[in-house]
A and B are shown apart, each in its own frame.
Chain A
Amino acid sequence: MDPLHQFHIKPLISVIVADLDVSFSNSALSMITSVIIIYALMMLGMRRRSMVPGRWQSLAEIFYEFITKMVDDNAGRAARPFFPFIFTLFMFILVGNLLGMLPWAFTFTSHIVVTFAMAIFVFTMATLLALIKHGFRFFTFFLPHGVPLWLAPLLVPIEIVSYLSRPISLSVRLFANMMAGHTMLKVFAGFTVMMGAGLGALGYAAGIVPVIINIALIGFEIMVATLQAYVFAILTCLYIRDALELH
């Protein structure tokens, strides 16, 4: 009945490396499954390398062209070297989110540790990229163009805070969406059980209402799962463009 029970990480195979507990958990199982699914999709789809693509090949090509277009549109053509990274990021989050929609599956993106690790990686990468590419000029990023200089003491701290909050908002957005969605599903499912336990037969009859709401919510959650993967990828593109172009 605990709506947060689904987020518990249970070790399946105990692994301890250098005094750190890195057991193969249900979260790790989900991650590895996602990797296998993505790789299978890309490889099995492209197995025949046909000129006229079949169903699976079309899917693989659609993903490829979708991310290519996203990177070109939002990060510019100069960001082409980051295409494999953004592709991996998008597919990993997308499949992870969708995998979590299956019953009994674990959603690894519902853990702040995972999303924050990915967000901080993106943030560090973008910042280092900007520093390498622009050197000291990177710090002009915090003073927007066309702003009177006397506003700088006010604006620069705001910009710095806004910049530093990027990994937090990026990670919390994904994590909160996934966690809230799954908790909500569990809470509504719990209503059915509570009604059945509290009101007997009448309760079970009335319990159909939360089930119907849950069906609609599952559709909504699948949309959110896709959308959040898209948002994560597109914001990564935008951060990379900021790093490449500074404004």
Chain B
Amino acid sequence: MVAQMTAKPDHRGPSRCYGRTVPAGWVPALTLTLTLIAGRALAGEGGGGLPQLDPATVPTQLFWLAVSFLVLYYMLFGVALPRVESVLQERDSRIAFDVVKADELRAEADAVLAAAERLRDQARSQGQELVARTGRVGLASNRLLMAELDVQLMARIKDAEARILAAKLTALAQIDEVAAEAARELAARLAGVRVDDATMAALVGQVARDGFLGRVPGAGAPQRSRPRSAAEAAG
């Protein structure tokens, strides 16, 4: 705006300030010149502008860049990278070796497994055959055996029953004898009465048949169901 305002009068026509004609284009030219001059002056005041554009620092930067880059390159190229590479190769070869070994081991394990499976199948088929054969033979023999056993057992049971019966009869027979003996002893001790064997046996036989006073019908059941009458009977 200011530039236009100041420039305006000068564009009306040839200027006659100093008594001679100058071309109308002098304002842009002057502006440019002054701008350049002022810019240069300002740049001088500002301390040289961008530090990156200071040519004085170029040699030192290039020199130290070259030195450090070359040193780094040869250190990495000569020492560090081969070392990393050797470690990586060592690991790769180790892994490859391990993979090969693992493959071998797996193949071996597969073979062993296959053999075991074959053996197992074989054993299973053998067992099945054996079971089948045994089943056919065993069924018949088992029946025979069981029948035989049944007969034997029945015989033994019968034998045992007979023996029990005999023992019972013997015991029953002996009870009267024992009772007579005990009664005679009691009579002798308590009353001083001597009873001969025949009488005692007759008495015992009577008591055993008719009860102690000849009134009580049996020994077991009536006493349990009627305790009072049993007590009366005892009294």
**Is A in direct contact with B (CB under 8 Å) within the complex?**
yes
Instruction: Spell out A's residues near B (CB within 8 Å).
Output: 4, 7-9, 11, 15, 17, 20-25, 27-28, 31-32, 34-35, 38-39, 42-43, 46, 49, 51, 57, 60-61, 64-65, 83-85, 87-88, 91-92, 108, 110-114, 117-118, 175, 179
**In this assembly, does B88 line the interface, its C-beta being within 8 Å of a C-beta of chain A?**
yes
Most buried by B among A15, A21, A46, A108: A46
A108 to B90, CA, bound (A): 37
User: Considering only CB atoms, which chain B residue lies closest to A6 in the complex?
Assistant: B51
CA distance A8 to B60 in the complex (A): 13
Q: Known interface pairs A7-B50, A46-B84. Does A31 touch B73 (Cβ–Cβ under 8 Å)?
A: no
What DSSP secondary structure best describes chain B's contact surface? helix
Partner of A28, one of B50, B68, B79, B80: B68
Tell me if B52 and A7 are in contact (CB < 8 A).
yes
Q: Which of B203-232 contact A (CB under 8 A)?
A: none
User: Of B61, B75, B86, which one neighbours A9 at CB under 8 angstroms?
Assistant: B61
**Which B residues are CB-close (under 8 A) to A43?**
79-80, 83
CB–CB A111/B61 < 8 A: yes
B68 and A34 contacting across the interface, CB-CB below 8 Å: yes
Q: How many residues does chain B have at the interface if contact means C-beta atoms less than 8 Å apart?
A: 37
* In the complex, B102 has a CB within 8 A of chain A: no
Other-chain residue from A4, A25, A32 in contact with B68 (beta carbon distance below 8 A): A32
B52 near A110 with CB under 8 A, answer yes
**Minimum CB–CB distance for A72 against chain B, Å:** 14
Residue in A closest to B70 when the chains form the complex, CB atoms: A88
B99 to chain A, nearest CB (A): 15
**Residues of chain B contacted by A118 (CB below 8 angstroms):** 65, 69
Contact yes or no, B64 A42, CB < 8 A: no
The distance from the CB of B212 to the nearest CB of chain A, in whole angstroms, is 107
B115 on interface, CB distance cutoff 8 Å: no
- State the CA gap A64–B72 with chains docked (Å): 15
Q: Which residues of B contact A35 (CB under 8 A)?
A: 68, 71-72, 75
> 8 interchain pairs (CB within 8 A)?
A4-B50, A20-B59, A22-B60, A27-B61, A39-B75, A43-B83, A46-B83, A64-B81
Does the CB pair B72–A9 fall under 8 Å? no
Chain A: which residue is nearest B55 at the CB level? A113
B94: chain A residues within 8 A (beta carbon): 51
B57 interface hit (Cβ, 8 Å): yes
CA A23 to CA B63, docked complex, whole Å: 9
B118 to chain A, nearest CB (A): 40
**With A39-B75, A88-B77: A113-B62 Cβ-Cβ less than 8 Å:** yes
Question: In the complex, which residues of chain A have a beta carbon less than 8 angstroms from the beta carbon of B71?
Answer: 35
Docked pose: A51 CA to B87 CA in angstroms: 7
Once bound together, how far apart are the Cα atoms of A117 and B164, in whole Å?
Answer: 128
B56 at the interface (CB under 8 A from A): yes
Q: Counting CB contacts under 8 A, is B91 at the interface?
A: yes
Tell me, yes or no, whether B157 is within 8 Å of chain A by CB: no
| Beta-carbon contact of A117 and B76 below 8 Å | no
Judging by beta carbons under 8 Å apart, are B56 and A21 in contact? Answer: yes
B58 adjacent to chain A (CB < 8 Å): yes
CA of A39 to CA of B50, assembled, Å:
33
Contacts of B50 in A (CB 8 A): 4, 7
Which of A17, A20, A42, A85: most chain B Cβ within 10 A? A42
- Are A21 and B60 closer than 8 Å at their CB atoms? yes
With A49-B87, A92-B69 already in contact, the answer to whether A4 and B51 are too (CB < 8 A) is yes
A88 adjacent to B52 (CB under 8 Å): no
Task: State whether A84 and B72 are in contact (beta carbons under 8 Å apart), knowing that A27-B61, A111-B52, A113-B62 are contacts in the complex.
Answer: no
CB distance from A233 to the nearest CB of B (A): 14
Q: A27-B61, A38-B72, A64-B88 are in contact. List 17 more A-B contacts (CB 8 A).
A: A7-B50, A9-B57, A21-B56, A21-B60, A22-B63, A25-B60, A34-B68, A35-B75, A39-B75, A61-B88, A84-B76, A91-B72, A112-B53, A113-B65, A117-B65, A117-B66, A175-B52
Q: Tell me which residues across on chain A come within 8 A of B51, comparing CB atoms.
A: 4, 7-9, 111
Contact partner of B80 (CB less than 8 A), chosen from A32, A39, A65, A175, is A39
Contacts A7-B50, A112-B52 given; does A28 touch B60 at CB 8 Å: yes
Report A-chain residues with C-beta under 8 Å of the C-beta of B73.
Answer: 84-85, 88
Cβ–Cβ < 8 Å partners of B85 in chain A: 64
Nearest B residue (CB) for A17: B63
Q: What chain A residues lie within 8 Å of B53 (beta carbons)?
A: 112
| Cβ-defined contact, B76 with A42, below 8 A | yes
